[in-house]
Structure 1
Amino acid sequence: MNIEDTRITLVEKQQYHTFAYGGQVPGPLFYVDEGDELTVNVNNMTALPHTIHWHGMLQRGTWRNDGVPGVTQTAIEPGDSFTYKFTAEPSGTFWYHCHVNVNEHVTLRGMFGPFIVRPKKPTALEKSVTKDFILMLSDWESEYAEKPGFGGVPGGVYNYFTINGKSYPETQPLRVNKGDVVRLRFIGAGDLVHSIHLHGHVMKIAFKDGFPLANPISGDTVSISPGERYDVIFTADNPGRWMIHDHVDTHTMNGNRPMGGIMSVLEYNEIKNNDTWYDWKDRKFQPDFYYEESLKKGPGIYTNEVFKGQAIQ
């Protein structure tokens, strides 16, 4: 996997210089089985040093693969390569990210991607799931969009907020059928807390940081802190179009404009999208925006053209 200087578009004309895994933000989906042995060859094609930390992996007997410069390895210098080898354990929703200058490289340069480990013994609740979506939440400072090597320090102002690297209305609807059992995997990839509220439904907060909760909590809002993962599961039993959004209201803006940021819509396929005033009436739907199509295929490494940026030479 290459780390590349890549320019992505968050929304409209707001672009950002990123250090992208595989040239995309988020990076490729790693979907593996619990106990799989992974070998990942990483090539640093940028002008700054990087690593990959496999967040949540226990690294039993493989601590030198934890991806922390000065602790488990030297950083991967520009033009150099490094090979990570480890066993995928435990199971659950995880992610990977750079551990060099995390304040900038992760928060502002898009150096993150989803890492899902399929359990050997799934719970009865997760066995019932028919639709599975990944939502990585992150924050951006437009002041440093074209200043790689800077930003992400105390006192900075975050003014763009994204799901999977895009701000509303450049995000995509989550499309379901009545009767679906839906799993939303929230990953806190940024630097702020995001309080996600789903209209019209009751969610079961069923997993924390990949681990099943003995007693899932019912609610309509869940807060995800930096680095945290929460998996929520609900039954699609209320056909309509329903907002899902960050209830930290300043996170639903694009710069100084409202109706943006961390927002999406739960769309039922049974409901026609022909209202002239609907924001997404004439927008082209892009499947797999939440890796929902990739997750259907079973374990593999999945790139995604939706997240590809423009290479910076």
Structure 2
Amino acid sequence: MKNSISLFSYYRFTHIILMLVVLALIPLSSQAEKHEFDMTIEDTRIVLVGNRDFHTFAYNGQVPAPLLHVKEGDEVTVNLTNMTTLPHTIHWHGMLQRGTWQSDGVPHSTQHAVEPGETYTYKFKAEPSGTMWYHCHVNVNEHVTMRGMWGPLIVEPKDPLPIEKKVTKDYILMLSDWASSWANKPGEGGIPGDVFDYYTINAKSFPETQPIRVKKGDVIRLRLVGSGDLVHSIHTHGHISQIVFKDGFPLPNPIKADTVLVGPGERYDVIIEMDNPGLWMIHDHVDTHTTNGNKVDGGIMTTIEYEEVGLDHDFYVWKNKKFVPDFYYEESMKKGFGMHNSTVFKGELIED
């Protein structure tokens, strides 16, 4: 009898040890975490280019909004406080909200809009993985299209594809369009017949966007987000783009191209090998989208700058440009998981 008990204890002890070993071998990065973030909405003023300002309703006072970077399966809680004079919500575009439909952020469907001075708490599991985004779902034609109520939500996969593991630099480009006739008339606009006359990457128009700095051998990932109301045709010079993801989902076979059509709400992840040193343009091939008001050479344009060729060229528009890092969240994406505010996108608070 004693031998039986002793043998049972031995096997039980061995089983526990094996379980502990197995748990220890599971990478920490694959284990779900809990995140809780506090977020506000504030009346702010941002400048798109030159002196073209806009009254915005900004999450944490910035446009685009803070980066939320989490892992697939993480539990996310966001406490949203509305400090403006109009109602708002957050819709977590791309999240399935399994069992948490009341956190989908749609007034008249899943919740009452968050009134001025109120706080509303969203809770959901981050699934599926991919390039997602979040935006207001109250009067979206105004609040999203021309009041800057949008930001990136990046959900890292449990099992990244081999091509993802090759990426050395990660950039987020949120594409939007603005009708200046409503620039300083909050609560108005976003109606049929609006004339869009400013076009932006991350709420800035060329030449006040920033270059993408690389060196030969880099593999870059451009996360393109259609956060406005128009279709944009993004053309990269001098390189072959691999369109690998659509709306966060991997394509069965990546598409090789040099132009990517991005519609409202769409996301495309494009991976490009930096194998052709030079100074190369990236721009919207809808030609009117490369204007600022009634001036040409603006809008949705930037450049890829290779370290190997330098900037000392008299023809280069950004030869003496002061470089501002994190314009594409490239530094924030390196900081690990959480909510990352950025002074790069901070607007000027509008006092009552």
TM-score range for the pair, normalised by the shorter chain length: over 0.9
Residue of structure 2 in register with 1:189 after alignment: 227
User: Which residue does the alignment assign to 2:168?
Assistant: 130
Distance 1:166 1:274 in 2: 24
Q: Which whole-Å CA distance do the structure 1 matches of 2:256 and 2:100 have between them? A: 38
Q: Does 1:24 align with 2:62?
A: yes
294, 301, 310: which one aligns with 2:332: 294
Distance 1:71 1:139 in 2: 27
1:42 counterpart (80, 105, 108): 80
After TM superposition, give the deviation of residue 114 of structure 1 in Å: 0.3
Spell out the pairing of 1:54-133 with structure 2 (5 A cutoff).
Answer: 54-133=92-171
Alignment partner of 1:267 is 2:305: yes
Runs of at least 5 residues in structure 2 that lack an aligned partner in the other structure? 1-38
Helix, strand or coil: the match of 2:160? coil
Give matches, 1:105-184, under 5 Å: 105-184=143-222
Quote the residue 1:235 is aligned against.
273
- In the alignment, structure 1 residue 202 sits paired with structure 2 residue 235: no
**Deviation string, structure 1 residues 86-127 (Cα, Å, up to 9, x no partner):** 110000000000000000000010000000000000001111
- 2:322 alignment counterpart: 284
Larger radius of gyration: 2
Matches of 2:332 and 2:90, distance apart in 1? 22
Alpha-carbon deviations, 1:108-165, whole Å to 9, x = none? 1000000000000000111111111000000000000000011111100000000000
Separation of aligned partners in 1, 2:79 and 2:59 = 12
Structure 2: distance between partners of 1:35 and 1:164: 28
> CA–CA distance in 1 between the matches of 2:91 and 2:78?
12
Letter in 1 for 2:346: K
3-state SS of 2:313 partner: coil
Cα distance in 1 for partners of 2:115, 2:276 equals: 52
Tell me how far 1:298 sits from its aligned partner: 2.0
1:306 to 329, 341, 344: 344
TM-score using structure 2 length:
0.88
Count residues in correspondence.
313
Q: Quick one: distance in 2 between partners of 1:140 and 1:271?
A: 35
Whichever residue aligns with residue 172 of structure 1, its letter is: Q
SS in 1 for 2:333: helix
Query: Relative contact order (alpha carbons < 8 A, sep ≥ 6): 1 or 2 greater?
Result: 1
- Matched residues in 2 for 1:300 and 1:165: separation? 22
Q: Which residue of 1 aligns with 2:12?
A: none
* Structure 1: distance between partners of 2:86 and 2:309: 49
| SS of aligned partner of 1:279 | coil
**Distance (whole Å) between structure 2 residues aligned to residue 77 and residue 88 of structure 1:** 26
TM-score by length of 1: 0.99
1:251 aligned counterpart, secondary structure: helix
Post-superposition offset of 1:281: 1.2
Q: What is the Cα deviation at residue 297 of structure 1?
A: 2.0
Task: Classify the secondary structure of the residue corresponding to 1:270.
Answer: helix
- In the alignment, residue 102 of structure 2 is paired with which amino acid? R
2: CA distance, partners of 1:17 / 1:232:
32
Deviation at 1:54, TM superposition (A): 0.2
CA distance in 1, matches of 2:183, 2:325: 27
Deviation at 1:269, TM superposition (A): 1.2
Give % identity: 68
Mapping 1:217-236, distance limit 5 Å:
217-236=255-274
Gaps of 5+ in 1: none
Distance 1:298 1:259 in 2: 36
Misfit runs of 4+, over 2 Å: none
RMSD of the TM alignment (CA)? Answer: 0.6
